[in-house]
Amino acid sequence: MGTVTTTQLRSMYEDMVTARYYEERLQEEYMEGKTPGFDISAGPIPGELHLAAGHEATAAGVCAHLTDEDTVTAPHRPHHIAIAKGVDLKRMTAEIFGRETGLSAGKGGHMHLFDPDVNFACSGIIAQGCPPAVGAALAAMKRNESSVAVAYLGEGAISQGAFLESLNLASLHDLPVIFVIEDNDWAISMPKGRISVPQDGSKRAAGFDMPGVRIDHDDATAVYEAAADAVGRARDGNGPTLMSVQVHRRMGHFMGDPETYRPEADQQRHQERDSIERLAADLEAAGVDEDERETIREDAHECVDDAIAWAKEQPEPAPDAALEDVFSNPPSGVTDEDPTPEFAGNGGADR
């Protein structure tokens, strides 16, 4: 296993406290104007918002081994992973606020972030990121490149066909891809024990002849060490790995979720488990005292506050922009003058 250095501990801590504060601030912005009746369409961030507070260790521990050339796909709780991968924080925030300077000109929102500069993408479709990650790994192999791909998913996705088919293809071709399950015990409102067998997602690996690794607590150092093996294995041409990390969900499935399905004892248990405090203890043991950690936190908070302030000042897209970027390659026959396509072979009869 790779041994984590003090410099790497600091870097992971910075990513984690940035992600945690970012989501706390997004929660504040999101809830503006939505109460008391919770109007999902109101406020500066309309629509749904899924936050990943409590998941930070998986992002920091794995992405610490990646470069801009490596591909990462994330699920509908993507912010911590995007931050650890190096996605531009200002443009990501502008995207979440629906502004034209966002990563996708304000058209994707928080579940559909895309930053080709660091090869990051995410989707709100369950397990959707697995096939593109496998494709990126296959492309890297065929190009004889050393880059790898990482696909993040939740434990509620481990029975999805897209995930299982991706495991099969990755194993069949020994592709340089790592699958990371963020296991927070809850598939929306259902406890994992009621939806999946096995409950330990890493055991899915056995059916596809690949290593399966389980990290039983959201410890960034333990994730880092396990990821060192998995990423190293992929870069060396030795095929894929499936990792499952026990994380904790500190908030509801979505903002506004009353969580009436969730026992108070479970909520309290998750609040008491904090991967950031665990990493702070590792930093203390490595000689990084509280004053230095406070400086890291202050810098992270300033970066987040600046990104949110900048995003809120950005212009909203013009209404006509909704008609742009609909087709990357319009069908043959489509012109500004004649919007009806004439498809070859049928005389345009079947439209």
Side-chain half-sphere exposure of 325, counting CA atoms within 13 A: 10
Residue 350 within any structural domain of the chain: no
Residue 341 within any structural domain of the chain: no
Domain count, the chain: 1
**Residue 306 pLDDT > 80:** yes
**Residue 274 pLDDT > 50:** yes
The model scores a pTM over 0.85: yes
Residue 336 within any structural domain of the chain: no
Mean pLDDT to the nearest integer, 6-10: 97
Mean pLDDT to the nearest integer, 191-203: 89
**Residue 252 pLDDT > 60:** yes
For the stretch 125-173, pLDDT in tens is 999 999 999 999 999 999 999 999 999 999 999 999 999 999 999 999 9
Domain that holds residue 103: 6-30+44-320
Mean pLDDT to the nearest integer, 63-68: 98
Look up the CATH number of the domain holding residue 265: 3.40.50.970
**Residue 73 pLDDT > 60:** yes
Confidence of residue 256 (pLDDT cuts 50, 70, 90): confident
Task: Output the CA–CA distances (angstroms, integers) from residue 171 to 30, 162, 200, 211, in the order listed.
Answer: 41, 14, 19, 10
Q: What is the pLDDT of residue 312?
A: 97
Residue 209 within any structural domain of the chain: yes
Q: What is the pLDDT of residue 272?
A: 78
**Residue 220 pLDDT > 60:** yes
Q: What is the pLDDT of residue 343?
A: 45
Strands (E), the chain: 71-74, 114-115, 120-122, 149-154, 177-183, 186-187, 190-191, 212-215, 241-246
Percent of the chain with pLDDT over 70: 93
Residue 82 within any structural domain of the chain: yes
Residue 327 within any structural domain of the chain: no
Termini Cα distance of the chain = 58
